[in-house]
C-alpha cells in the first residue's frame, strides 16, 4: 500500500524548522544532552533529533513531551491564544442584518366637520 507524502508550504516548513531550532537552543541553554531529554520525554534519540531538525512527520505529542521536559509546556498553551483574525471574523458574524420593522402607514383622518 502506497503512503502519501505530506506536502508542506515553504512558510509552514520554515515555521517547523524554527520551532526545532528553538527547542534545540533551549536544550543547549539548559545543558541537557540529547540522551537525557529523549529519555525524560519517553521518545527515542532519533525522534528528538528529528524534532530539532524540523521534520514534519514527528507527532505533536512527542514535541509537547520535549517542551514539558524543558519546562516550556506553558508555551504550547499560548499557541493561537490571541487569534486576532479569528476574533475579527467572529465579530463580523455577530452583526445580524435584520430588516427594519415595518412602518405603520398613517391613515388619513376623515374630516369630522362634514
Which pLDDT value is given to residue 86? 84
pLDDT tens track for 79-100: 888 888 888 888 777 655 677 7
**107 occurs within a structural domain:** no
CA-closest candidate to residue 67, choices 107, 22, 101: 22
Q: The cell 427594519 sits on which residue?
A: 100
Tell me, yes or no, whether 100 lies in a domain: no
Residue 65, domain extent = 10-94
In a domain, 80, yes or no: yes
CATH classification at residue 71: 1.10.260.40
Which residues have C-beta within 8 Å of that of residue 48, sequence separation ≥ 6?
Answer: 34, 37, 38, 41, 66
Output the pTM of the full model: 0.72
Q: Are 6 and 56 in contact (CB under 8 A)?
A: yes
**C-alpha pair distances (Å), 103 with each of 63, 68, 98, 106:** 62, 63, 14, 9
Q: Is residue 104 part of a domain?
A: no
pLDDT in tens, 5-58: 778 899 999 999 999 999 999 999 999 999 999 999 999 999 999 999 999 999
Question: What's the CA gap between 64 and 39, in Å, rounded?
Answer: 14
Number of domains in the chain: 1
Amino acid at each position: 500500500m502506497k503512503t502519501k507524502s505530506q506536502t508542506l508550504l515553504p512558510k509552514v516548513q520554515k515555521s517547523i524548522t524554527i520551532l526545532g531550532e528553538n527547542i534545540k537552543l533551549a536544550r543547549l541553554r539548559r545543558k541537557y544532552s540529547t540522551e537525557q531529554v529523549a529519555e525524560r520525554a519517553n521518545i527515542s534519540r532519533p525522534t528528538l533529533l528529528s524534532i530539532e531538525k524540523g521534520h514534519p512527520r514527528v507527532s505533536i505529542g512527542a514535541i509537547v513531551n520535549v517542551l514539558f521536559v524543558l519546562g516550556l509546556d506553558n508555551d504550547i498553551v499560548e499557541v493561537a491564544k490571541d487569534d486576532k483574525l479569528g476574533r475579527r471574523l467572529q465579530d463580523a458574524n455577530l452583526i445580524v442584518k435584520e430588516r427594519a420593522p415595518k412602518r405603520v402607514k398613517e391613515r388619513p383622518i376623515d374630516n369630522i366637520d362634514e
